[in-house]
Amino acid sequence: MAGRLVSQFSTKSSRISNRNSLKLFNTETYIRRSLNRSYTHRNITTINNDYNRRNNFSIGTLFQRFYSIESASFTVQDEDDFKDNVLNNPDDKLILVDFYATWCKPCKIYTPRLEQAVSENSDNVILAKIDIDKLSDLAMEYDVNSVPTVIAFREGKRVGHLIGVQTQEFIQQFIESRV
C-alpha cells in the first residue's frame, strides 16, 4: 500500500509546476484527497519525505493543517519548556501531559486513543507529550511509576490523572468532566 501511495504521489508531484503558488495549491489539493482516504501516519510521513527529496519543497506544515491531531499537541523538550507551556500556560485550557516511553507497547496502543480524544476537544484541550527516558526528572517529580500515565493540569494545578491503558469512552469522560 505504501509503495502504491508513494508512486501515486510521485506521479502527481511530477505534474506540479515550478512556481511555488501552483505547487502549494496542487500539493494542498492532493493532501486533502489523500487524508480523506484515511492513510496511516506512517504513509503520510513517507509521502512527505519522498516529496521533500524530489522537490526541495516542504509540505510538513500542510500536513499539520489537515492532520488536526498534530496541531493539538506538542512534545515537551526540557523542564523550562514544561514550566512555560504547562504550568504557566496563559490559556484557560485543560492540558493533558502524557508520560510515555518509546519502548512501551501499551503506550503505542494508548497514544492514538488519547490523540483522537484531544482532537475532538481541541478547542479546550492541549496534549503535551513527555518521553520519560529523556526527561526522567519530571517523571520522578510527578510520581510516574508506570507508563502510560496522563496527568491533567489546569492553570498550573494538577486536576487529575490516568494510569495505564484506558478505553476511548473513559478518556472522553475524563476530559469532559474536567473541561
- Of 47, 104, 126, 162, which one is the catalytic site residue? 104
Active site residue 100: no
User: Largest Cα–Cα distance of the chain, in whole Å?
Assistant: 54
Alpha-carbon span 129 to 74, nearest angstrom? 6
Contact 126, 93 (CB under 8 A): yes
Q: Residue 2 phi/psi, 5° resolution?
A: -65, -40
Alpha-carbon span 1 to 49, nearest angstrom? 16
- Of 47, 72, 76, 107, which one is the catalytic site residue? 107
Active site residue 104: yes
Q: Which runs of E-coded beta strand occur in the chain? A: 73-75, 94-100, 125-131, 149-154, 157-163
Instruction: Retrieve residue 176's grid coordinates.
Output: 469532559
Closest of 44, 36, 43 to residue 63, by C-alpha: 44
Contact 128, 96 (CB under 8 A): yes
Instruction: Retrieve residue 98's grid coordinates.
Output: 502524557
CA distances to 75, 114, 126, 157 from 93, rounded to whole Å, are 17, 16, 7, 12
Query: Which residues are identified as catalytic?
Result: 104, 107
